[in-house]
Amino acid sequence: MKNLNRKYMVWGIRIIISILFMVSAVAKLYPSPLMGISSFETKYLSAIGIDGSFAVILSRLLIGFEFTLGLLILLPYYLKRIVIPSTVALLGAFSVHLFIQVVGGDSSNCGCFGELIPMTPLQALVKNILSIGLLLLLLTSFKSEIKDQKNIHPLLYSGLIISLLMFILLPQGSNNISRAQVESGDSIYAQYFPNVAEGNKLVCFFAPTCPHCMETAKQLVELKQKFPGLIPELKIIFMDESWPIDGSPLEIEAFFKEIGSKFDYVSIEPNAFWTIFESHQKGMEVPGVFYLQGGVHKALYSGSAEYGAENPFTALGLIDQIKKEY
Protein backbone atom coordinates (compact mmCIF):
# COMPACT_ATOMS: atom_id res chain seq x y z
CA MET A 1 0.00 0.00 0.00
CA LYS A 2 2.84 2.38 0.87
CA ASN A 3 4.56 1.76 -2.49
CA LEU A 4 1.24 2.26 -4.28
CA ASN A 5 0.73 5.63 -2.58
CA ARG A 6 4.22 6.69 -3.59
CA LYS A 7 3.49 5.80 -7.22
CA TYR A 8 0.29 7.83 -7.08
CA MET A 9 2.23 10.82 -5.73
CA VAL A 10 4.86 10.50 -8.46
CA TRP A 11 2.22 10.40 -11.16
CA GLY A 12 0.31 13.23 -9.52
CA ILE A 13 3.39 15.47 -9.64
CA ARG A 14 4.16 14.51 -13.23
CA ILE A 15 0.59 15.25 -14.34
CA ILE A 16 0.54 18.63 -12.54
CA ILE A 17 3.81 19.72 -14.18
CA SER A 18 2.65 18.45 -17.57
CA ILE A 19 -0.60 20.42 -17.32
CA LEU A 20 1.27 23.59 -16.30
CA PHE A 21 3.57 23.40 -19.33
CA MET A 22 0.80 22.45 -21.76
CA VAL A 23 -1.46 25.27 -20.54
CA SER A 24 1.44 27.73 -20.66
CA ALA A 25 2.12 26.83 -24.29
CA VAL A 26 -1.54 26.92 -25.36
CA ALA A 27 -2.18 30.18 -23.47
CA LYS A 28 0.45 31.97 -25.55
CA LEU A 29 -1.70 31.23 -28.60
CA TYR A 30 -4.82 32.89 -27.13
CA PRO A 31 -7.21 34.30 -28.37
CA SER A 32 -6.07 33.09 -31.80
CA PRO A 33 -2.71 31.48 -32.66
CA LEU A 34 -1.29 34.32 -34.76
CA MET A 35 -2.72 37.04 -32.55
CA GLY A 36 -1.46 35.34 -29.40
CA ILE A 37 2.07 34.61 -30.58
CA SER A 38 2.46 38.07 -32.15
CA SER A 39 1.36 39.66 -28.90
CA PHE A 40 3.81 37.45 -26.98
CA GLU A 41 6.66 38.56 -29.25
CA THR A 42 5.95 42.27 -29.13
CA LYS A 43 4.76 42.65 -25.55
CA TYR A 44 6.98 40.23 -23.64
CA LEU A 45 10.02 39.19 -25.64
CA SER A 46 10.71 42.73 -26.82
CA ALA A 47 10.40 43.91 -23.21
CA ILE A 48 13.52 41.93 -22.32
CA GLY A 49 15.44 43.17 -25.34
CA ILE A 50 14.58 40.39 -27.80
CA ASP A 51 13.12 41.91 -30.94
CA GLY A 52 12.78 41.48 -34.67
CA SER A 53 13.26 38.21 -36.53
CA PHE A 54 14.98 36.54 -33.57
CA ALA A 55 11.87 37.08 -31.42
CA VAL A 56 9.78 35.42 -34.15
CA ILE A 57 12.02 32.33 -34.07
CA LEU A 58 12.47 32.23 -30.29
CA SER A 59 8.74 32.49 -29.59
CA ARG A 60 7.99 29.40 -31.68
CA LEU A 61 10.91 27.43 -30.25
CA LEU A 62 9.91 28.34 -26.71
CA ILE A 63 6.28 27.32 -27.19
CA GLY A 64 7.40 24.12 -28.93
CA PHE A 65 9.80 23.38 -26.06
CA GLU A 66 7.02 23.87 -23.50
CA PHE A 67 4.76 21.50 -25.45
CA THR A 68 7.60 18.98 -25.67
CA LEU A 69 8.42 19.06 -21.95
CA GLY A 70 4.72 18.80 -21.09
CA LEU A 71 4.57 15.62 -23.17
CA LEU A 72 7.91 14.11 -22.17
CA ILE A 73 7.28 14.47 -18.43
CA LEU A 74 4.56 11.84 -18.89
CA LEU A 75 6.78 9.44 -20.85
CA PRO A 76 9.36 7.07 -19.28
CA TYR A 77 12.39 8.11 -21.36
CA TYR A 78 15.44 9.61 -19.63
CA LEU A 79 13.27 11.26 -17.00
CA LYS A 80 15.97 11.48 -14.32
CA ARG A 81 18.88 12.31 -16.61
CA ILE A 82 17.39 14.70 -19.17
CA VAL A 83 13.68 15.57 -18.95
CA ILE A 84 13.31 16.56 -15.28
CA PRO A 85 16.69 18.39 -15.11
CA SER A 86 15.82 20.27 -18.34
CA THR A 87 12.46 21.26 -16.90
CA VAL A 88 14.08 22.48 -13.68
CA ALA A 89 16.67 24.43 -15.69
CA LEU A 90 14.00 26.14 -17.80
CA LEU A 91 11.94 27.06 -14.75
CA GLY A 92 15.10 28.29 -13.04
CA ALA A 93 16.00 30.55 -15.95
CA PHE A 94 12.49 32.00 -16.02
CA SER A 95 12.62 32.49 -12.25
CA VAL A 96 15.78 34.59 -12.44
CA HIS A 97 14.06 36.96 -14.87
CA LEU A 98 10.91 37.03 -12.74
CA PHE A 99 12.96 37.78 -9.60
CA ILE A 100 14.52 40.77 -11.36
CA GLN A 101 11.04 42.00 -12.29
CA VAL A 102 9.79 41.57 -8.71
CA VAL A 103 12.77 43.47 -7.28
CA GLY A 104 12.14 46.21 -9.85
CA GLY A 105 8.56 46.58 -8.65
CA ASP A 106 6.97 45.29 -11.84
CA SER A 107 3.40 44.09 -11.22
CA SER A 108 2.21 43.82 -14.83
CA ASN A 109 1.27 40.60 -16.59
CA CYS A 110 4.47 38.57 -16.96
CA GLY A 111 3.15 36.69 -19.99
CA CYS A 112 3.80 33.20 -18.60
CA PHE A 113 0.25 32.25 -19.56
CA GLY A 114 -0.11 34.88 -22.28
CA GLU A 115 -3.30 36.91 -22.13
CA LEU A 116 -5.39 33.88 -21.14
CA ILE A 117 -4.38 33.90 -17.46
CA PRO A 118 -2.83 37.23 -16.40
CA MET A 119 -0.18 36.68 -13.73
CA THR A 120 2.14 39.11 -11.97
CA PRO A 121 5.88 38.34 -11.80
CA LEU A 122 5.56 37.56 -8.08
CA GLN A 123 2.73 35.08 -8.65
CA ALA A 124 4.65 33.44 -11.50
CA LEU A 125 7.82 33.27 -9.37
CA VAL A 126 5.94 31.49 -6.57
CA LYS A 127 4.45 29.09 -9.13
CA ASN A 128 7.90 28.33 -10.54
CA ILE A 129 9.47 27.79 -7.12
CA LEU A 130 6.71 25.36 -6.14
CA SER A 131 7.10 23.54 -9.47
CA ILE A 132 10.88 23.27 -9.02
CA GLY A 133 10.31 21.95 -5.51
CA LEU A 134 7.98 19.22 -6.80
CA LEU A 135 10.44 18.24 -9.53
CA LEU A 136 13.37 18.09 -7.09
CA LEU A 137 11.18 15.90 -4.88
CA LEU A 138 10.94 13.45 -7.78
CA LEU A 139 14.73 13.40 -8.12
CA THR A 140 15.32 12.86 -4.41
CA SER A 141 12.62 11.29 -2.23
CA PHE A 142 10.84 9.52 -5.09
CA LYS A 143 13.84 8.74 -7.26
CA SER A 144 13.44 4.99 -6.80
CA GLU A 145 9.87 5.14 -8.10
CA ILE A 146 10.94 6.55 -11.47
CA LYS A 147 11.92 3.97 -14.04
CA ASP A 148 14.12 5.41 -16.78
CA GLN A 149 14.06 3.83 -20.21
CA LYS A 150 17.24 4.65 -22.10
CA ASN A 151 15.83 5.39 -25.52
CA ILE A 152 16.77 8.80 -26.86
CA HIS A 153 14.71 8.58 -30.03
CA PRO A 154 11.30 9.51 -28.51
CA LEU A 155 12.87 12.65 -27.02
CA LEU A 156 14.48 13.70 -30.28
CA TYR A 157 11.45 12.90 -32.41
CA SER A 158 9.03 14.65 -30.05
CA GLY A 159 11.12 17.81 -29.87
CA LEU A 160 11.79 17.93 -33.59
CA ILE A 161 8.22 17.24 -34.68
CA ILE A 162 6.61 19.71 -32.26
CA SER A 163 9.14 22.44 -33.11
CA LEU A 164 8.58 21.96 -36.84
CA LEU A 165 4.82 22.10 -36.30
CA MET A 166 5.21 25.49 -34.60
CA PHE A 167 6.84 26.92 -37.73
CA ILE A 168 4.43 25.19 -40.12
CA LEU A 169 1.21 26.06 -38.27
CA LEU A 170 2.39 29.55 -37.25
CA PRO A 171 4.07 31.03 -40.34
CA GLN A 172 6.34 34.02 -39.83
CA GLY A 173 5.10 37.33 -41.14
CA SER A 174 7.07 39.69 -43.31
CA ASN A 175 7.31 42.89 -41.31
CA ASN A 176 8.66 45.52 -43.68
CA ILE A 177 8.28 48.42 -41.26
CA SER A 178 11.60 50.13 -40.63
CA ARG A 179 12.77 51.33 -37.22
CA ALA A 180 12.87 54.89 -38.57
CA GLN A 181 9.18 54.65 -39.43
CA VAL A 182 8.38 53.36 -35.97
CA GLU A 183 10.24 56.23 -34.34
CA SER A 184 8.66 58.85 -36.58
CA GLY A 185 5.25 57.52 -35.62
CA ASP A 186 2.75 59.19 -37.89
CA SER A 187 4.50 58.13 -41.11
CA ILE A 188 3.44 54.60 -40.23
CA TYR A 189 -0.21 55.56 -40.68
CA ALA A 190 0.54 57.70 -43.74
CA GLN A 191 1.68 54.69 -45.74
CA TYR A 192 -1.85 53.29 -45.35
CA PHE A 193 -3.91 56.49 -45.14
CA PRO A 194 -2.26 59.39 -47.06
CA ASN A 195 -4.53 62.08 -45.54
CA VAL A 196 -4.16 60.94 -41.93
CA ALA A 197 -2.37 64.17 -40.93
CA GLU A 198 -5.09 66.41 -42.37
CA GLY A 199 -7.43 67.66 -39.67
CA ASN A 200 -8.76 65.36 -36.95
CA LYS A 201 -8.76 61.59 -37.36
CA LEU A 202 -9.51 58.46 -35.34
CA VAL A 203 -7.15 55.58 -36.12
CA CYS A 204 -8.60 52.35 -34.72
CA PHE A 205 -6.77 49.06 -34.16
CA PHE A 206 -9.17 46.12 -34.33
CA ALA A 207 -9.10 42.36 -34.74
CA PRO A 208 -12.10 41.51 -36.96
CA THR A 209 -13.34 38.63 -34.76
CA CYS A 210 -12.75 40.43 -31.43
CA PRO A 211 -16.11 41.03 -29.62
CA HIS A 212 -14.73 44.02 -27.69
CA CYS A 213 -13.50 45.56 -30.96
CA MET A 214 -16.98 45.19 -32.43
CA GLU A 215 -18.53 46.79 -29.35
CA THR A 216 -16.10 49.73 -29.55
CA ALA A 217 -16.83 50.14 -33.27
CA LYS A 218 -20.59 50.14 -32.55
CA GLN A 219 -20.10 52.93 -30.01
CA LEU A 220 -18.16 54.94 -32.59
CA VAL A 221 -20.92 54.43 -35.17
CA GLU A 222 -23.49 55.67 -32.63
CA LEU A 223 -21.33 58.70 -31.82
CA LYS A 224 -20.97 59.61 -35.50
CA GLN A 225 -24.73 59.39 -35.91
CA LYS A 226 -25.38 61.44 -32.77
CA PHE A 227 -22.61 64.02 -33.34
CA PRO A 228 -22.05 64.06 -37.13
CA GLY A 229 -19.99 67.25 -37.14
CA LEU A 230 -17.94 66.45 -34.06
CA ILE A 231 -16.64 62.90 -34.41
CA PRO A 232 -13.59 62.75 -36.73
CA GLU A 233 -13.17 60.52 -39.76
CA LEU A 234 -12.41 56.89 -38.86
CA LYS A 235 -9.51 54.87 -40.24
CA ILE A 236 -9.26 51.21 -39.21
CA ILE A 237 -6.15 49.03 -39.15
CA PHE A 238 -7.31 45.42 -38.93
CA MET A 239 -5.07 42.59 -37.81
CA ASP A 240 -5.27 39.83 -40.40
CA GLU A 241 -6.10 36.93 -38.09
CA SER A 242 -6.39 34.55 -41.04
CA TRP A 243 -2.88 35.28 -42.37
CA PRO A 244 -1.40 33.66 -44.45
CA ILE A 245 -4.77 32.29 -45.61
CA ASP A 246 -6.69 35.06 -47.28
CA GLY A 247 -9.73 34.86 -45.02
CA SER A 248 -9.67 38.40 -43.64
CA PRO A 249 -12.00 39.92 -46.31
CA LEU A 250 -14.83 37.66 -45.14
CA GLU A 251 -14.11 38.39 -41.47
CA ILE A 252 -13.94 42.13 -42.10
CA GLU A 253 -17.14 42.04 -44.13
CA ALA A 254 -18.85 40.29 -41.21
CA PHE A 255 -17.38 42.89 -38.84
CA PHE A 256 -18.84 45.83 -40.78
CA LYS A 257 -22.17 44.04 -41.12
CA GLU A 258 -22.26 43.53 -37.36
CA ILE A 259 -21.58 47.20 -36.54
CA GLY A 260 -23.92 48.50 -39.26
CA SER A 261 -21.45 50.74 -41.05
CA LYS A 262 -18.25 50.68 -43.10
CA PHE A 263 -15.07 52.74 -42.88
CA ASP A 264 -11.76 53.17 -44.68
CA TYR A 265 -9.48 50.31 -43.63
CA VAL A 266 -6.39 48.22 -44.24
CA SER A 267 -5.68 44.65 -43.12
CA ILE A 268 -2.09 43.75 -42.20
CA GLU A 269 -0.34 40.66 -40.87
CA PRO A 270 0.01 40.30 -37.07
CA ASN A 271 3.68 41.23 -36.61
CA ALA A 272 3.28 44.50 -38.51
CA PHE A 273 0.01 45.20 -36.68
CA TRP A 274 1.58 44.95 -33.23
CA THR A 275 4.69 46.88 -34.27
CA ILE A 276 2.52 49.82 -35.37
CA PHE A 277 0.05 49.51 -32.50
CA GLU A 278 2.77 49.62 -29.84
CA SER A 279 5.06 52.11 -31.54
CA HIS A 280 3.93 54.95 -29.26
CA GLN A 281 3.27 53.08 -26.05
CA LYS A 282 4.09 49.55 -24.89
CA GLY A 283 1.48 47.25 -23.42
CA MET A 284 -1.36 48.27 -25.74
CA GLU A 285 -4.36 45.95 -26.08
CA VAL A 286 -7.08 45.70 -28.70
CA PRO A 287 -9.42 47.42 -29.17
CA GLY A 288 -7.30 50.53 -29.70
CA VAL A 289 -8.58 53.99 -30.61
CA PHE A 290 -6.05 56.77 -31.29
CA TYR A 291 -7.31 60.36 -31.58
CA LEU A 292 -5.08 62.43 -33.88
CA GLN A 293 -5.16 66.16 -34.57
CA GLY A 294 -3.04 67.27 -37.49
CA GLY A 295 -1.21 63.96 -37.32
CA VAL A 296 -0.37 64.45 -33.63
CA HIS A 297 -1.64 62.01 -31.02
CA LYS A 298 -3.97 63.64 -28.52
CA ALA A 299 -5.37 60.52 -26.85
CA LEU A 300 -4.62 56.79 -26.86
CA TYR A 301 -7.32 54.38 -25.73
CA SER A 302 -6.65 50.65 -25.52
CA GLY A 303 -8.02 47.46 -24.08
CA SER A 304 -11.32 46.54 -22.48
CA ALA A 305 -12.67 47.74 -19.13
CA GLU A 306 -13.99 44.20 -18.62
CA TYR A 307 -10.39 42.95 -18.39
CA GLY A 308 -9.17 45.81 -16.22
CA ALA A 309 -7.48 47.95 -18.90
CA GLU A 310 -6.03 51.17 -17.52
CA ASN A 311 -7.31 53.42 -20.30
CA PRO A 312 -10.10 51.73 -22.28
CA PHE A 313 -12.17 53.58 -24.85
CA THR A 314 -15.33 55.26 -23.61
CA ALA A 315 -17.71 57.43 -25.60
CA LEU A 316 -17.76 60.09 -22.87
CA GLY A 317 -13.96 60.14 -22.63
CA LEU A 318 -13.58 60.67 -26.38
CA ILE A 319 -16.21 63.44 -26.46
CA ASP A 320 -14.50 65.24 -23.57
CA GLN A 321 -11.11 64.95 -25.28
CA ILE A 322 -12.42 66.29 -28.60
CA LYS A 323 -14.14 69.22 -26.90
CA LYS A 324 -10.86 70.13 -25.17
CA GLU A 325 -9.21 70.57 -28.54
CA TYR A 326 -11.83 72.95 -29.90
CATH number at residue 200: 3.40.30.10
Residues contacting residue 53 through CB under 8 Å, at least 6 positions apart: 172
Give the confidence band of 92 by pLDDT, cuts at 50, 70, 90.
very high
Domain boundary among 169, 192, 218: 169
Tell whether 104 and 197 lie within a shared domain: no
- pLDDT value at residue 34: 67
Distance, CA of 309 to chain centre: 15
What's the pLDDT at 83?
Answer: 94
Which residues sit opposite 160 in a β-bridge? none
The three-state secondary structure class of 99 is helix
Q: Which of 121, 147, 169 is the last residue of a domain?
A: 169
What is the tens place of the pLDDT at every residue in 266-301? 988 877 788 788 877 777 888 999 999 888 888 999
12 or 325, which is more confident = 12
Mean pLDDT of the region 203-226: 93
Q: 39 with 155, same domain?
A: yes
Between CA 135 and CA 189 the distance in angstroms is: 50
Q: Are residues 163 and 260 in the same domain?
A: no
**Same domain, yes or no, for 32 and 143?**
yes
Q: Return the half-sphere exposure (C-beta side, CA atoms, 13 A cut-off) of residue 116.
A: 17
Quick one: pLDDT at residue 33? 73
- SS3 of residue 272 by DSSP: helix
How far apart, in whole angstroms, are the C-alpha atoms of residue 34 and residue 130? Answer: 31
Instruction: Evaluate whether residue 178 is within a structural domain.
Output: no
Confidence class for position 31, pLDDT limits 50, 70, 90: low
**176 domain residue, yes or no:** no
Pair 225, 311 in one domain? yes
What pLDDT does residue 175 have? 45
| Domain annotation covers residue 175 | no
Provide the strand spans (E) within the chain: 200-206, 233-239, 264-268, 288-293, 296-302
Whether residue 159 sits in one domain with residue 62: yes
Q: Please indicate, yes or no, whether residues 97 and 189 belong to a single structural domain of this protein.
A: no
Of the pLDDT bands very low, low, confident and very high (cuts 50, 70, 90), residue 40 is confident
Confidence band, pLDDT 50/70/90 cuts, at residue 187: low
Contact residues for 131 (Cβ-Cβ < 8 A; gap 6+): 17, 20, 91
pTM above 0.75, yes or no: no
Q: Are residues 21 and 119 in the same domain?
A: yes
Q: How many domains does the chain have?
A: 2
CA distances, 182 to each of 275, 290, 322 (Å): 8, 16, 26
Please indicate, yes or no, whether residues 61 and 160 belong to a single structural domain of this protein: yes
Residue 178: per-residue pLDDT: 43
| 35 pLDDT tier (thresholds 50, 70, 90) | low
188 and 165 together in one domain: no
Domain-terminating residue out of 112, 145, 169: 169
Mean pLDDT, rounded, for 229-242: 87
Position 326 scores a pLDDT of 62
Its domain, for residue 140, covers: 2-169
Closest CA to 271 of 114, 56, 59: 56
Give yes or no: residues 154 and 193 share one domain. Answer: no
The string of pLDDT tens digits covering residues 116-154 is: 888 899 999 999 999 999 999 999 999 888 888 888 887
Say yes or no: 190 and 115 in one domain: no
